[in-house]
């Protein structure tokens, strides 16, 4: 078989480019041969897997890696000029000369949309390796399933099912990368210390084996179970994984899923401040300009628009409030069964003034995944606003326990502190506010809450200092913005202290 400068020698099992033999793996050779034999015809992923991999389990990441290897073997360095085209959501097609080419069904839709380069973003895989060592081996299934569930809440991460992961326990990182595609592996081991034990964790890249994060739990009594230790690890693991993926994404790329993940990561990793929210909004809006069917992007931008006003991170604007509702509606329409999408959209609806509907959406999210911290915290916040302090505090306390150890803690911790203050637990409020301040050095929310709590305790100098810290973080912070966090009366009192 020949086309352009490519020769596929079926007898010698060789691929030649410009007369020179190209070193290529057998699977990649078969992939190029099959696509060439079916040139100009759409080949579904299932058909390709059945033909080349005999129907075995192959992740999207591994399939995408194989397609990239096929392109490289044919000397193609620019995916936009590649003979192998990705038909998003459907499969692949090899376009060859002198044959009829099937029309692109998306032509009419893309005429008015910005021109996006073909997707380079592949959902990274995540696999929990076989737990080992003291305690870990005895609770292997529990550990595998716990962390698989926890990471499955992160959008665009392909989590390898525990039953599949068990078959990979003896594979090296390079073999994992070959089988699963590029991504991350999580290793958990246990060791004894007298009548106590610890769990050691390691997150590393499957491609190259580079360590991303390592952690050792505090000592615990094995007879009490692993619950608290696993939760401790999970709340730290998620932000480390998000950070690793976020840092690897191209800033200038046009892939809508990569842009969505970058926008959502910006909110979690850069803190809840005006600049981060503006960046997140712009990134998510760019993602939607390429693909309006991304539920996570709609949900994320709805939260940025609505919460930005509610928390004093943007100026009150009726048009922005209506946009937030519209994006939340679209997110729910696209994926009304995703707890992550429902948690973000439900929170946005509450912040945008549709509290009754927002609460029902948040309750739906928790009925699907009762460990969703975003939904817990948002529901607790709305109950606090409505005066149901005990129930609101209960939800907020649960959320703080499950929330990833990133900048999000500063927001929900601030709300919890204010709820405790309103209930009269001033000491508890001070403790939570200090914890929230320590969680994020770039947000004024927790510092304004701390100022209000110090003022309530009669510690006026400390209140004045906390307000000054708030202004350091957000120089244009004024009484109106503070009122969005602590209410007009408390804001006026703190502002007067500063003036004094």
Question: How far apart, in whole angstroms, are the C-alpha atoms of residue 348 and residue 375?
Answer: 11
- The band of 101, judged by pLDDT with boundaries at 50, 70 and 90, is very low
| Residue 26 structure tokens | 């057998």
Does residue 110 carry a pLDDT above 50?
Answer: no
Asked if 217 and 188 touch (Cβ cutoff 8 Å), the reply is no
Q: What is the pTM of this model?
A: 0.74
Is the dihedral angle over the CA atoms 28, 29, 33, 36 positive or is it negative?
positive
Does residue 104 carry a pLDDT above 50?
Answer: no
Res 247: pLDDT: 78
Residue 251 burial class via C-beta count within 10 angstroms: exposed 0-12, middle 13-18, buried 19 and up? exposed
Is the dihedral angle over the CA atoms 300, 302, 306, 308 positive or is it negative?
positive
Task: Kindly report, residue by residue over 403-429, the tens digit of the pLDDT.
Answer: 888 888 888 999 999 999 999 999 999
Q: Given 3-state DSSP classes, what are the helix, strand and coil percentages for the chain, each rounded to the nearest 5? A: 60, 10, 30
Task: Kindly report, residue by residue over 335-390, the tens digit of the pLDDT.
Answer: 999 999 999 999 999 999 999 999 999 999 999 999 899 999 999 999 999 999 99
Could you tell me which residues are beta bridge partners of residue 203?
A: 186, 213
Task: Kindly report, residue by residue over 120-136, the tens digit of the pLDDT.
Answer: 556 788 999 999 998 88
| Residue 185 structure tokens | 């592996």
- Closest Cα partner for 453 from 471, 439, 469, 433? 433
Strands 6-9, 2-3: pairing kind = antiparallel
- Closest Cα partner for 381 from 418, 345, 410? 418
Res 343: pLDDT: 95
Q: What is the mean pLDDT of the chain?
A: 85
Is the dihedral angle over the CA atoms 311, 284, 263, 230 positive or is it negative?
positive
- The band of 105, judged by pLDDT with boundaries at 50, 70 and 90, is very low
Orientation angle between helical segments 408-423 and 426-439, nearest 10 degrees: 170
Task: Kindly report, residue by residue over 451-474, the tens digit of the pLDDT.
Answer: 999 999 999 999 999 999 998 988
6-10, 89-93, 188-192, 446-450: the lowest-pLDDT one? 89-93
- The band of 499, judged by pLDDT with boundaries at 50, 70 and 90, is low
Which phi and psi angles does 293 have, rounded to 5°? -105, 20
60-74, 184-198, 346-360: the lowest-pLDDT one? 60-74
Res 448: pLDDT: 94
Nearest-5° Cα angle at 291, 127 to 351: 85
Question: How far apart, in whole angstroms, are the C-alpha atoms of residue 415 and residue 428?
Answer: 12
Write down all domains in the chain, each with its CATH number in brackets.
Answer: 2-110 (1.10.10.10), 125-248 (3.40.50.10070), 251-370 (1.25.40.10)
Task: Kindly report, residue by residue over 195-240, the tens digit of the pLDDT.
Answer: 999 999 999 988 778 899 999 999 999 888 888 999 999 999 999 9
Helices (H) and strands (E) in the chain, counts: 22, 13
Does residue 33 carry a pLDDT above 50?
Answer: yes
H helix or E strand, kind and range, residue 302? helix 295-310
Long-range contact list for 107-116, CB < 8 A, 24+ apart?
Answer: 113/289, 113/290, 114/254, 114/289, 114/290, 115/254, 116/254, 116/255, 116/256, 116/290
Does residue 181 carry a pLDDT above 90?
Answer: no
Res 115: pLDDT: 43
Query: Mean pLDDT: which of 56-70, 259-273, 399-413 is highest?
Result: 399-413
Question: How far apart, in whole angstroms, are the C-alpha atoms of residue 477 and residue 481?
Answer: 6
């Amino acid at each position: 078989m020949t086309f352009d400068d490519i020769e596929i020698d079926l007898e010698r099992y060789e691929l030649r480019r410009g007369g020179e033999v190209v070193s290529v793996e057998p699977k990649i050779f078969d992939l190029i041969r099959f696509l060439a034999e079916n040139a100009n015809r759409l080949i579904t992923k299932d058909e390709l897997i059945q033909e080349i991999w005999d129907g075995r389990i192959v992740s999207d990441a591994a399939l995408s890696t194989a397609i990239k290897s096929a392109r490289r073997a044919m000397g193609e360095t620019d995916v936009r000029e590649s003979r192998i085209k990705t038909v998003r959501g459907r499969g692949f097609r090899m376009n060859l000369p002198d044959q009829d080419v099937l029309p692109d069904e998306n032509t009419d839709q893309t005429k008015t949309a910005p021109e996006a380069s073909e997707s380079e973003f592949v959902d990274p895989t995540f696999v929990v390796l076989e737990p080992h060592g003291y305690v870990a081996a005895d609770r292997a299934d529990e550990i595998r399933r716990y962390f698989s569930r926890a990471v499955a809440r992160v959008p665009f991460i392909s989590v390898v099912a525990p039953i599949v992961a068990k078959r990979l326990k003896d594979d090296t990182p390079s073999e994992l990368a070959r089988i699963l595609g590029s991504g991350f592996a999580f290793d958990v081991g246990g060791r004894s210390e007298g009548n106590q034990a610890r769990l050691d964790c390691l997150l590393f890249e499957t491609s190259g084996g580079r360590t991303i994060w390592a952690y050792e739990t505090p000592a615990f009594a094995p007879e009490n179970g692993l619950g608290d230790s696993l939760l401790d690890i999970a709340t730290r693991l998620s932000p480390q994984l998000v950070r690793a993926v976020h840092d690897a994404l191209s800033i200038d790329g046009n892939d809508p899923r990569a842009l969505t993940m970058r926008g959502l990561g910006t909110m979690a990793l850069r803190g809840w401040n005006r600049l981060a929210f503006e960046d997140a909004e712009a990134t998510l809006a760019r993602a939607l300009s390429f693909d309006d069917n991304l539920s996570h992007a709609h949900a994320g931008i709805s939260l940025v628009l609505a919460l930005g006003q509610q928390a004093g991170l943007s100026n009150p604007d009726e048009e922005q409030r209506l946009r937030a509702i519209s994006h939340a509606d679209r997110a729910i329409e696209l994926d009304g069964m995703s707890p992550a999408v429902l948690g973000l959209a439900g929170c946005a609806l509450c912040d945008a003034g549709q509290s009754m509907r927002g609460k029902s959406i948040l309750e739906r999210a928790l009925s699907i995944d009762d460990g969703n911290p975003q939904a817990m915290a948002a529901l607790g916040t709305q109950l606090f606003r409505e005066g149901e302090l005990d129930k609101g505090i209960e939800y907020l306390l649960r959320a703080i326990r499950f929330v990833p150890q990133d900048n999000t803690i500063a927001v929900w911790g601030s709300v919890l502190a204010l709820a405790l203050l309103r209930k009269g637990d001033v000491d508890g409020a001070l403790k939570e506010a200090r914890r929230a301040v320590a969680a994020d050095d770039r947000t004024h929310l927790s510092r304004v809450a701390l100022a209000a709590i110090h003022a309530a305790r009669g510690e006026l100098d400390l209140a004045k200092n906390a307000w000054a810290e708030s202004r350091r973080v957000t120089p244009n912070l004024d009484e109106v913005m503070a009122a969005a966090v602590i209410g007009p009366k408390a804001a006026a009192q703190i502002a007067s202290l500063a003036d004094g």
